[in-house]
Structure 1
Amino acid sequence: MGNYKHIEECFSRYIIGNYQSAAEVGVGRNFTVAERIACAGVAVRTTDIFPQQPPAGVPFFRDDVCTPDLTRYHDTELIYAVRPGIEMVPCIIALARSVNADCIIYHLGNEIYERGGRIIDCGVVLHQYYSRT
Protein backbone atom coordinates (compact mmCIF):
# COMPACT_ATOMS: atom_id res chain seq x y z
CA MET A 1 0.00 0.00 0.00
CA GLY A 2 2.95 2.36 0.48
CA ASN A 3 3.26 2.66 -3.31
CA TYR A 4 -0.36 3.80 -3.60
CA LYS A 5 0.31 6.54 -1.03
CA HIS A 6 3.21 7.77 -3.18
CA ILE A 7 1.02 7.83 -6.29
CA GLU A 8 -1.72 9.75 -4.56
CA GLU A 9 0.72 12.19 -2.95
CA CYS A 10 2.39 13.00 -6.30
CA PHE A 11 -0.93 13.35 -8.13
CA SER A 12 -2.34 15.55 -5.34
CA ARG A 13 0.68 17.86 -5.39
CA TYR A 14 0.40 18.22 -9.16
CA ILE A 15 -3.29 19.16 -8.98
CA ILE A 16 -2.75 21.58 -6.08
CA GLY A 17 0.02 23.32 -8.00
CA ASN A 18 -1.93 23.68 -11.23
CA TYR A 19 -5.69 23.91 -10.64
CA GLN A 20 -8.32 25.76 -8.64
CA SER A 21 -11.15 23.29 -9.35
CA ALA A 22 -11.33 19.59 -10.16
CA ALA A 23 -13.69 16.64 -10.41
CA GLU A 24 -12.61 13.07 -9.74
CA VAL A 25 -14.65 10.53 -11.68
CA GLY A 26 -14.87 6.88 -10.70
CA VAL A 27 -13.66 7.65 -7.20
CA GLY A 28 -14.78 4.31 -5.75
CA ARG A 29 -13.82 4.13 -2.08
CA ASN A 30 -10.46 5.88 -2.48
CA PHE A 31 -10.93 9.56 -1.65
CA THR A 32 -7.25 10.20 -0.86
CA VAL A 33 -6.45 12.55 -3.75
CA ALA A 34 -9.74 14.43 -3.44
CA GLU A 35 -9.34 14.81 0.32
CA ARG A 36 -5.77 16.12 -0.01
CA ILE A 37 -6.61 18.67 -2.67
CA ALA A 38 -9.74 19.80 -0.80
CA CYS A 39 -7.63 20.41 2.32
CA ALA A 40 -5.29 22.55 0.18
CA GLY A 41 -8.18 24.74 -0.99
CA VAL A 42 -8.89 23.26 -4.42
CA ALA A 43 -12.63 23.09 -5.09
CA VAL A 44 -13.21 19.40 -5.71
CA ARG A 45 -16.19 17.18 -6.49
CA THR A 46 -16.16 13.41 -6.64
CA THR A 47 -18.41 11.03 -8.49
CA ASP A 48 -18.99 7.35 -9.04
CA ILE A 49 -21.74 5.23 -10.55
CA PHE A 50 -22.23 3.58 -7.14
CA PRO A 51 -23.12 5.36 -3.89
CA GLN A 52 -20.06 6.06 -1.72
CA GLN A 53 -19.38 7.55 1.69
CA PRO A 54 -16.98 10.47 1.20
CA PRO A 55 -14.98 12.00 4.02
CA ALA A 56 -16.18 15.31 5.47
CA GLY A 57 -15.49 18.24 3.17
CA VAL A 58 -15.43 16.20 -0.05
CA PRO A 59 -18.64 16.56 -2.08
CA PHE A 60 -19.88 13.39 -3.80
CA PHE A 61 -22.66 12.73 -6.30
CA ARG A 62 -23.72 9.66 -8.23
CA ASP A 63 -23.16 9.93 -11.95
CA ASP A 64 -22.33 7.68 -14.86
CA VAL A 65 -19.28 9.08 -16.66
CA CYS A 66 -20.54 7.55 -19.93
CA THR A 67 -23.86 9.41 -19.68
CA PRO A 68 -22.89 12.30 -17.41
CA ASP A 69 -24.99 15.16 -16.10
CA LEU A 70 -22.88 17.90 -17.68
CA THR A 71 -24.34 20.61 -15.46
CA ARG A 72 -22.44 19.07 -12.53
CA TYR A 73 -19.07 19.65 -14.20
CA HIS A 74 -19.31 23.20 -15.59
CA ASP A 75 -16.67 25.63 -14.29
CA THR A 76 -14.34 22.70 -13.55
CA GLU A 77 -10.75 23.11 -14.76
CA LEU A 78 -9.79 19.44 -14.44
CA ILE A 79 -11.51 16.10 -14.84
CA TYR A 80 -9.25 13.39 -13.42
CA ALA A 81 -9.27 9.73 -12.51
CA VAL A 82 -7.00 7.45 -10.49
CA ARG A 83 -6.69 3.93 -11.89
CA PRO A 84 -9.97 3.89 -13.84
CA GLY A 85 -11.04 0.86 -15.81
CA ILE A 86 -9.70 1.24 -19.35
CA GLU A 87 -13.28 1.04 -20.67
CA MET A 88 -14.04 4.30 -18.79
CA VAL A 89 -11.24 6.31 -20.42
CA PRO A 90 -13.03 7.30 -23.67
CA CYS A 91 -15.99 8.51 -21.60
CA ILE A 92 -13.74 10.50 -19.26
CA ILE A 93 -12.05 12.18 -22.24
CA ALA A 94 -15.42 12.94 -23.85
CA LEU A 95 -16.68 14.47 -20.60
CA ALA A 96 -13.60 16.70 -20.32
CA ARG A 97 -14.04 17.86 -23.92
CA SER A 98 -17.74 18.53 -23.38
CA VAL A 99 -17.08 20.90 -20.47
CA ASN A 100 -13.69 22.14 -21.73
CA ALA A 101 -11.69 20.86 -18.78
CA ASP A 102 -8.24 19.28 -18.79
CA CYS A 103 -8.33 15.49 -18.61
CA ILE A 104 -5.60 13.74 -16.64
CA ILE A 105 -5.50 10.06 -15.75
CA TYR A 106 -3.22 7.93 -13.63
CA HIS A 107 -3.49 4.47 -15.18
CA LEU A 108 -3.34 1.11 -13.51
CA GLY A 109 0.08 -0.41 -14.15
CA ASN A 110 1.34 0.26 -17.65
CA GLU A 111 -2.06 0.74 -19.28
CA ILE A 112 -2.49 3.57 -21.74
CA TYR A 113 -5.32 4.65 -24.00
CA GLU A 114 -4.57 5.08 -27.68
CA ARG A 115 -1.21 6.88 -27.86
CA GLY A 116 -1.15 7.77 -24.18
CA GLY A 117 -1.74 11.49 -24.49
CA ARG A 118 0.79 14.02 -23.20
CA ILE A 119 2.98 12.52 -20.48
CA ILE A 120 3.31 14.46 -17.23
CA ASP A 121 6.06 13.24 -14.92
CA CYS A 122 5.36 14.57 -11.44
CA GLY A 123 7.04 11.74 -9.57
CA VAL A 124 4.57 9.33 -11.16
CA VAL A 125 3.47 9.19 -14.80
CA LEU A 126 0.20 10.93 -15.56
CA HIS A 127 -1.49 11.00 -18.96
CA GLN A 128 -3.15 14.19 -20.16
CA TYR A 129 -5.66 13.28 -22.84
CA TYR A 130 -7.27 16.68 -23.34
CA SER A 131 -6.21 20.26 -22.66
CA ARG A 132 -8.66 23.11 -22.31
CA THR A 133 -6.13 25.59 -23.71
Structure 2
Amino acid sequence: MSASRNDALVARLAPFDALVEIGVGNRPDVAAALADRGCSVVATDVYDQSVPDGVRFVRDDVTEPAADVYADADAIYARNLPPELHRPTLELAREHGAAFLFTTLGGEQPLVPVRRETLPVGTLFVADDTGPE
Protein backbone atom coordinates (compact mmCIF):
# COMPACT_ATOMS: atom_id res chain seq x y z
CA MET A 1 0.00 0.00 0.00
CA SER A 2 1.41 3.38 -0.94
CA ALA A 3 2.43 5.98 1.63
CA SER A 4 -0.16 8.44 0.30
CA ARG A 5 -2.92 5.85 0.61
CA ASN A 6 -1.77 4.99 4.13
CA ASP A 7 -1.67 8.68 5.08
CA ALA A 8 -5.19 9.18 3.74
CA LEU A 9 -6.44 6.11 5.56
CA VAL A 10 -4.85 7.24 8.82
CA ALA A 11 -6.37 10.71 8.41
CA ARG A 12 -9.82 9.16 7.83
CA LEU A 13 -9.56 6.77 10.79
CA ALA A 14 -7.88 9.10 13.31
CA PRO A 15 -11.14 10.75 14.50
CA PHE A 16 -12.13 7.41 16.05
CA ASP A 17 -10.86 6.94 19.61
CA ALA A 18 -10.72 3.13 19.67
CA LEU A 19 -10.09 0.99 16.60
CA VAL A 20 -9.59 -2.67 15.75
CA GLU A 21 -7.69 -3.65 12.61
CA ILE A 22 -8.73 -6.97 11.10
CA GLY A 23 -5.97 -9.05 9.50
CA VAL A 24 -2.98 -6.85 10.29
CA GLY A 25 -0.51 -9.38 8.88
CA ASN A 26 2.99 -7.96 8.55
CA ARG A 27 1.68 -4.44 7.79
CA PRO A 28 1.20 -2.66 11.12
CA ASP A 29 2.06 0.78 9.71
CA VAL A 30 -1.49 2.17 9.74
CA ALA A 31 -2.13 0.83 13.25
CA ALA A 32 1.16 2.34 14.44
CA ALA A 33 0.37 5.72 12.89
CA LEU A 34 -3.05 5.73 14.54
CA ALA A 35 -1.49 4.87 17.91
CA ASP A 36 0.99 7.72 17.39
CA ARG A 37 -2.00 10.04 16.99
CA GLY A 38 -3.38 8.94 20.35
CA CYS A 39 -5.89 6.33 19.20
CA SER A 40 -6.33 3.09 21.10
CA VAL A 41 -5.57 0.37 18.53
CA VAL A 42 -5.97 -3.39 18.67
CA ALA A 43 -4.59 -5.34 15.71
CA THR A 44 -5.92 -8.83 15.04
CA ASP A 45 -4.89 -11.69 12.80
CA VAL A 46 -5.47 -15.44 12.67
CA TYR A 47 -1.68 -15.85 12.99
CA ASP A 48 0.62 -14.38 15.62
CA GLN A 49 2.09 -11.10 14.39
CA SER A 50 4.53 -8.53 15.73
CA VAL A 51 3.16 -5.04 16.26
CA PRO A 52 4.89 -1.86 17.40
CA ASP A 53 4.63 -0.33 20.86
CA GLY A 54 1.31 1.38 21.36
CA VAL A 55 -0.60 -1.26 19.39
CA ARG A 56 -2.06 -4.29 21.18
CA PHE A 57 -2.11 -7.56 19.24
CA VAL A 58 -4.80 -10.21 19.72
CA ARG A 59 -4.97 -13.45 17.79
CA ASP A 60 -8.57 -13.67 16.60
CA ASP A 61 -10.72 -14.78 13.69
CA VAL A 62 -13.68 -12.61 12.64
CA THR A 63 -15.61 -15.74 11.65
CA GLU A 64 -15.42 -16.88 15.30
CA PRO A 65 -14.66 -13.63 17.13
CA ALA A 66 -13.86 -13.12 20.79
CA ALA A 67 -16.44 -10.45 21.67
CA ASP A 68 -14.27 -8.73 24.27
CA VAL A 69 -11.71 -7.75 21.62
CA TYR A 70 -14.30 -5.55 19.86
CA ALA A 71 -16.42 -4.41 22.81
CA ASP A 72 -14.89 -0.92 23.10
CA ALA A 73 -14.25 -0.31 19.39
CA ASP A 74 -15.60 2.82 17.76
CA ALA A 75 -14.44 1.49 14.39
CA ILE A 76 -13.34 -1.79 12.88
CA TYR A 77 -11.19 -1.47 9.77
CA ALA A 78 -9.35 -3.73 7.37
CA ARG A 79 -7.02 -3.35 4.43
CA ASN A 80 -7.36 -5.66 1.44
CA LEU A 81 -10.20 -7.53 3.14
CA PRO A 82 -11.11 -10.74 1.26
CA PRO A 83 -14.75 -10.90 0.10
CA GLU A 84 -15.55 -13.87 2.32
CA LEU A 85 -14.84 -11.70 5.38
CA HIS A 86 -17.02 -8.71 4.40
CA ARG A 87 -20.27 -10.05 5.89
CA PRO A 88 -18.82 -11.51 9.11
CA THR A 89 -16.92 -8.29 9.77
CA LEU A 90 -19.99 -6.14 9.11
CA GLU A 91 -22.04 -8.32 11.48
CA LEU A 92 -19.32 -7.96 14.12
CA ALA A 93 -19.23 -4.17 13.72
CA ARG A 94 -23.02 -3.91 13.96
CA GLU A 95 -23.07 -6.14 17.04
CA HIS A 96 -20.69 -3.75 18.80
CA GLY A 97 -22.04 -0.48 17.42
CA ALA A 98 -18.79 0.20 15.57
CA ALA A 99 -18.22 1.72 12.16
CA PHE A 100 -16.77 -0.64 9.54
CA LEU A 101 -14.33 0.73 6.97
CA PHE A 102 -12.26 -1.34 4.56
CA THR A 103 -10.36 -1.62 1.32
CA THR A 104 -10.33 -4.57 -1.05
CA LEU A 105 -7.77 -6.15 -3.34
CA GLY A 106 -7.61 -4.68 -6.82
CA GLY A 107 -10.97 -4.65 -8.55
CA GLU A 108 -12.87 -6.71 -5.98
CA GLN A 109 -16.22 -5.22 -5.10
CA PRO A 110 -17.70 -5.21 -1.61
CA LEU A 111 -20.30 -7.85 -0.80
CA VAL A 112 -22.08 -5.62 1.73
CA PRO A 113 -23.89 -2.29 1.26
CA VAL A 114 -21.33 0.54 1.35
CA ARG A 115 -20.65 4.17 0.73
CA ARG A 116 -17.49 4.77 -1.29
CA GLU A 117 -14.81 7.31 -0.37
CA THR A 118 -11.99 8.03 -2.80
CA LEU A 119 -8.43 7.71 -1.50
CA PRO A 120 -5.34 8.93 -3.38
CA VAL A 121 -4.93 5.36 -4.60
CA GLY A 122 -8.08 3.25 -4.53
CA THR A 123 -11.34 3.35 -2.62
CA LEU A 124 -12.31 3.17 1.02
CA PHE A 125 -15.60 1.38 1.59
CA VAL A 126 -17.67 2.56 4.56
CA ALA A 127 -20.29 0.02 5.59
CA ASP A 128 -21.40 1.68 8.80
CA ASP A 129 -21.90 5.41 9.30
CA THR A 130 -21.91 5.33 13.11
CA GLY A 131 -18.71 7.29 13.60
CA PRO A 132 -16.99 10.58 12.96
CA GLU A 133 -17.12 11.87 9.42
Same fold per TM (> 0.5)? yes
- Cα distance in 1 for partners of 2:42, 2:76 equals 10
* Cα-to-partner distance string for 1:15-39 (whole Å, 9 max, x where unaligned): 11x2111100111110011000000
- Aligned runs of 1:27-106 on 2, under 5 Å? 27-106=24-103
Q: CA deviation at 1:122?
A: 4.3
* Cα-to-partner distance string for 1:78-109 (whole Å, 9 max, x where unaligned): 00001122211111111101111000001111
Over the matched positions of the two proteins, sequence identity in percent amounts to 28
Q: Equivalent residue of 1:108, what SS?
A: coil
Check the 8 A contact 2:23/2:46 in 1, yes or no: yes
* Cα-to-partner distance string for 1:12-68 (whole Å, 9 max, x where unaligned): 11111x211110011111001100000000111100000011112211010011110
- Cα distance in 1 for partners of 2:112, 2:19 equals 24
Say which of 22, 44, 51 aligns to 2:19. 22
Displacement over 4 Å in runs of 4+:
none
What number of residue pairs does the alignment pair up?
130
Check the 8 A contact 1:116/1:127 in 2, yes or no: no
Change (3 A) 1:115 1:97: closer
Letter in 1 for 2:126: Q
Structure 1 residue ranges without an equivalent (≥5) = none
Check the 8 A contact 1:14/1:122 in 2, yes or no: no
- Cα distance in 2 for partners of 1:24, 1:115 equals 18
Q: CA deviation at 1:114?
A: 3.0
Q: Equivalent residue of 1:130, what SS?
A: coil
- State the match for 2:123 in structure 1: 125
Greater fraction helix = 1
TM-score (norm 1): 0.89
CA RMSD of aligned residues (A): 1.6
- Cα distance in 2 for partners of 1:110, 1:85 equals 12
